[in-house]
Structure 1
Amino acid sequence: MNPPPPPDPDAALCRINPGELSPPSGFTHAVTATGGRLVFLAGQTALDGDGRVVAGGLPEQFARALANLLTALRAAGGAPHHLARVTVHTTDVAAYRAHAAELGRIWRRSAGRDYPAMAVVGATRLWDEAALVELDGIAVLP
């Protein structure tokens, strides 16, 4: 087993990817947090400022939902590298997989390369009926 990297002193997070597991792509296998303040981020869909789901398909909705999640995080005093956990809920897992490379580019452009522990969960429908994707998260602020 590879030793964990030293903790990030700013975020109070340590990202751990054991050598015995498949190499992660777009996520981290485990994240530990010490000290700091927890921020629980509500599920964000692709709603614009007027409460309407943005036009477009899964990539466009993912970009807006991520922007909304990061807006809430910044309002709480955090930044993308403070994310410890993100759950993606989607109404179409096959479409999510088909767009994975594009979604990864959107993530890196918006949130960088400090990936949190992540999961993608299929859902029959989301609260906003036109929504294809919803993201929620947990961040640890120093």
Structure 2
Amino acid sequence: MTIAITNPDGLHAPTRFGYSHVATARGEVVAIAGQYASDAQGGVAAEDFAAQVELALANLGTALRAAGVDHSHVIKLNTYIVDHSPERLETLARHITGIWGDRPPPQTLLGVASLALPGMLFEIDALAVRG
């Protein structure tokens, strides 16, 4: 099996954190690493939960486009929310609906105590398929 690992322009260099942004298997399956509200150096660029969700989803879009796919190719999402609450779920749902409308992909949401970096409140990863 051929696997291509890439780190697209427009996203921070992640290898110092021990991961890459995109893996493509056999040219068809695309795995996108957890995207968060990162700045160009990999730091957290926003403090507000809604702003973090918006920026993380923008970064997800950047990674998808770099792999030659878009949101319509996503078949699975995993989301991670620090201090999960109904209000945070509502914020996430509003952003997801803004992208996928009434046909969002399957999603697993995990409420977590913390994420990789101080100040991270949200992270999202995705699995997409070309074609």
TM-score (norm 1): 0.66
Q: Is the 8 A contact 1:45 1:128 kept in 2?
A: no
Q: Deviations over 1:42-77 (max 9, x none)?
A: 011110223221223111101111111111011000
Q: Is the 8 A contact 1:86 1:136 kept in 2?
A: yes
Aligned residues: 104
Residue aligning to 2:95 = 106
Displacement of 1:121 after TM fit? 0.2
Structure 1: which 5+ residue stretches go unaligned? 1-35
Residue aligning to 1:54 = 45
The answer as to 2:58 corresponding to 1:70 is no
The 4+ residue runs of structure 1 with deviation greater than 4 A are none
Write the distance in 1 (CA, Å) between the matches of 2:35 and 2:117: 10
Residue aligning to 1:125 = 114
Displacement of 1:112 after TM fit? 2.9
Q: 1:90 is aligned with what amino acid?
A: I
Q: Deviations over 1:95-114 (max 9, x none)?
A: xx2133333332233x2323
- Across the aligned residues of Structure 1 and Structure 2, the Cα RMSD in angstroms comes to 1.7
Secondary structure of the corresponding residue to residue 93 of structure 1: coil
Q: Which of these residues, 26, 42, 45, is aligned with residue 33 of structure 2? A: 42
Q: Is the 8 A contact 2:36 2:123 kept in 1?
A: yes
Structure 1 or 2, whichever has the larger Rg, is: 1
Residue aligning to 2:70 = 79
Q: 2:74 is aligned with what amino acid?
A: L
Write the distance in 1 (CA, Å) between the matches of 2:113 and 2:47: 19
Displacement of 1:86 after TM fit? 0.4
Q: Is the 8 A contact 2:96 2:104 kept in 1?
A: no
Write the distance in 2 (CA, Å) between the matches of 1:123 and 1:101: 17
TM-score (norm 2): 0.71
Residue aligning to 1:115 = 104
